[in-house]
C-alpha cells in the first residue's frame, strides 16, 4: 500500500507567504485610500457619518475612563488609610503612629565602682554608660587607682553583651593619659555584667571612651 506523503512547508516558504499577504494588504489599503480621495457624495456622507460616530465614541470613552479613574482613586486611598499603623511607637521611635519621631538617647548612668576604682574626673568625660535608641551600649570617661585583674564595676541587666566581649583600651602611668601609654585589654561579661582590666594596663588611668557593644542581656 502506498502512503500519501504530506510535505510541510519549509520555514522559508512560510516567511515568503507572510510577506505576500502583507504586500497584498498594503496594496488594498492604498487602493481604498486613493478611492476615498474622490469627491463623491456617497464618500462625503460616509465620512461625515464616521466623524460623527467617532466623536460620540470618544465622548463615551472619556466618561468611562473618568469613572474608572475615580473609582480606582477612592479604593487606593481607602487601602492606604487602612494600612497605616496606629498606637504608641517604641524601640528607636517615640510618640504615636502614624507620625512617630526618633527617640533621643537616654541620659548617662553613673558607674558604681568596686575594688578601689573610681571616676578619674578632672577634665575627662564623666565615667558612665548609656544605651542609644538602637540598643547600642556606650561607655564613657575614665577610671583610676583600682586593682588590676578584678572587677572594676558591673553593668546592670539590659546593658550587657551576649557573651564575653574584649576591647583594647588605653591606660597610662600618668593621670588622664599624660604618662607613658600602656596598652590593656578590658573585658565585659554578659551573664553578670562585670568589667575587668584583664591584661596589661596601669591603674593610674584607664580610658573607657569608645567602648561600644550591642546589648542582648
| Residues 114-160: tens digit of each pLDDT | 999 999 987 889 999 999 988 999 999 999 999 999 999 999 999 99
pLDDT band for position 30 (50/70/90)? very low
Which of the two residues, 32 and 64, has the higher pLDDT score?
Answer: 64
Q: Cell 590593656, residue?
A: 184
Q: What's the pLDDT at 123?
A: 80
The model's confidence at residue 63, banded by pLDDT at 50, 70 and 90, is low
pLDDT > 60? residue 188: yes
The pLDDT value given to residue 105? 72
pLDDT of residue 8: 62
Q: What is the mean pLDDT of residues 21-25?
A: 54
C-alpha pair distances (Å), 44 with each of 29, 38, 176: 19, 9, 102
**What are the domain boundaries of the chain?**
109-214
Q: Is 98 exposed, middle or buried (0-12, 13-18, 19+ CB in 10 A)?
A: exposed
Cα radius of gyration rounded to whole Å, the chain: 42
Residue 12's pLDDT is 61
Interacting residues of 165 by C-beta distance below 8 A, sequence separation 6+: 187, 188, 190, 213
**DSSP assignment of 93-117, as one string?**
EESEETS-EEPPPPPPEEP-B-TT-
* pLDDT for the residue numbered 83: 73
Architecture of domain 109-214: Sandwich (2.60)
Q: What are phi and psi of 110, to 5 degrees?
A: -70, 145
pLDDT value, residue 124: 83
pLDDT computed for residue 33 by the predictor: 45
pLDDT value, residue 169: 95
- Confidence at residue 178, expressed as pLDDT on a 0 to 100 scale: 79
Computed over every residue of the chain, the mean pLDDT equals 77
Amino acid at each position: 500500500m502506498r502512503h500519501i506523503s504530506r510535505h510541510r512547508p519549509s520555514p522559508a516558504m512560510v516567511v515568503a507567504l507572510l510577506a505576500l499577504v502583507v504586500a497584498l494588504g498594503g496594496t488594498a489599503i492604498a487602493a481604498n485610500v486613493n478611492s476615498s480621495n474622490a469627491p463623491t457624495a456617497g464618500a462625503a456622507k460616509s465620512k461625515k457619518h464616521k466623524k460623527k460616530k467617532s466623536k460620540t465614541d470618544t465622548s463615551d470613552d472619556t466618561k468611562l475612563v473618568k469613572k474608572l479613574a475615580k473609582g480606582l482613586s477612592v479604593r487606593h486611598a481607602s487601602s492606604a488609610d487602612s494600612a497605616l499603623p496606629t498606637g504608641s511607637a517604641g524601640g528607636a521611635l517615640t510618640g504615636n503612629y502614624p507620625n512617630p519621631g526618633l527617640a533621643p538617647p537616654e541620659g548617662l548612668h553613673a558607674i558604681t565602682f568596686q575594688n578601689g576604682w573610681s571616676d578619674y574626673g578632672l577634665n575627662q568625660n564623666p565615667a558612665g554608660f548609656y544605651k542609644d535608641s538602637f540598643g547600642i551600649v556606650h561607655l564613657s570617661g575614665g577610671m583610676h587607682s583600682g586593682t588590676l585583674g578584678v572587677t572594676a564595676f558591673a553593668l546592670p541587666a539590659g546593658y550587657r553583651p551576649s557573651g564575653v566581649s574584649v576591647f583594647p583600651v588605653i591606660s597610662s602611668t600618668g593621670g588622664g593619659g599624660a604618662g607613658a601609654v600602656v596598652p590593656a585589654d578590658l573585658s565585659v561579661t554578659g551573664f553578670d555584667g562585670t568589667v575587668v582590666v584583664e591584661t596589661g594596663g596601669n591603674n593610674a588611668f584607664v580610658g573607657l571612651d569608645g567602648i561600644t557593644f550591642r546589648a542582648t542581656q
